[in-house]
Chains A and B, each alone.
Chain A
Amino acid sequence: NAGVMQNPRHLVRRRGQEARLRCSPMKGHSHVYWYRQLPEEGLKFMVYLQKENIIDESGMPKERFSAEFPKEGPSILRIQQVVRGDSAAYFCASSPGHITDTQYFGPGTRLTVL
């Protein structure tokens, strides 16, 4: 059973460009979480999605950031018009959805904004 897959592992963008980060949950998992890790900090929750639904986006910046988890395909975290402060590691986690389930993390995508 493959783990949580994220791609790309490293992404370099110039200021003003768009960044798209992909996350494929573990097989059988229908719940996806995105977290951001700024340099020298712990992970901070961004958004929680189920298939075709955003359940909790309380950690998402109000502008430029969006997330989706379509019926088919991976979950996408999209950052428009990136700025240097968006440079961070972005982690995706998935779980089957039961309240007692552990979240399993992907390897992360390291975004660098030049």
Chain B
Amino acid sequence: AQTVTQSQPEMSVQEAETVTLSCTYDTSESDYYLFWYKQPPSRQMILVIRQEAYKQQNATENRFSVNFQKAAKSFSLKISDSQLGDAAMYFCAYRSLKTSYDKVIFGPGTSLSVIP
């Protein structure tokens, strides 16, 4: 079974600085997606970034970028120029492409605080 691990329950970053959130996963499959979701205090789940496992190039979305290391099964999220609105829970997630659909498997989350 696939698992997702986030070893940092809490992180903090100074406003305008850069922070990296860690994520590792375990799977025997070769085709899958990886995601980072943001959950602010409103509890809405917001998709931050998506990475297809077959792509070697790391995904980027404005200030958000990932470091995808497929062999190491590592998928970290880097937030540049951190803003107060980035404060939230961040969940790393995995989805298999083995079947025509599949559920998303979430890690336990990292709580990010942004210090003014």
A-side residues, CB < 8 A to B, are 31, 33, 35, 41-45, 48, 55-56, 59, 89, 91, 93, 95, 97, 99-100, 102-105, 107-108, 110
A45→B100 CA distance, assembly (Å): 17
A55, B101: Cβ atoms closer than 8 Å: yes
Taking CB atoms and an 8 Å cut-off, the chain B residues in 73-116 that contact chain A are: 91, 95, 97, 99-101, 103-109
Interface check B42, CB cutoff 8 A: yes
A42, B108: Cβ atoms closer than 8 Å: yes
A105→B45 CA distance, assembly (Å): 6
A99, B45: Cβ atoms closer than 8 Å: no
Q: Which residue of B lies closest to A56 (CB)?
A: B103
Q: Which residue of B lies closest to A43 (CB)?
A: B106
B104, A45: Cβ atoms closer than 8 Å: yes
B101, A97: Cβ atoms closer than 8 Å: yes
Interface check B62, CB cutoff 8 A: no
A82→B7 CA distance, assembly (Å): 33
A112 → chain B closest CB, angstroms: 13
A7 → chain B closest CB, angstroms: 14
A93→B104 CA distance, assembly (Å): 10
A25 → chain B closest CB, angstroms: 14
A55→B109 CA distance, assembly (Å): 27
Q: Which residue of B lies closest to A98 (CB)?
A: B100
A48→B105 CA distance, assembly (Å): 13
A91→B101 CA distance, assembly (Å): 18
A95→B50 CA distance, assembly (Å): 15
B43, A102: Cβ atoms closer than 8 Å: no
Q: Which residues does chain B contribute within 8 Å of A102, judged by CB atoms? A: 35, 47, 50
A43: contacting residue among B42, B45, B50, CB under 8 A? B45
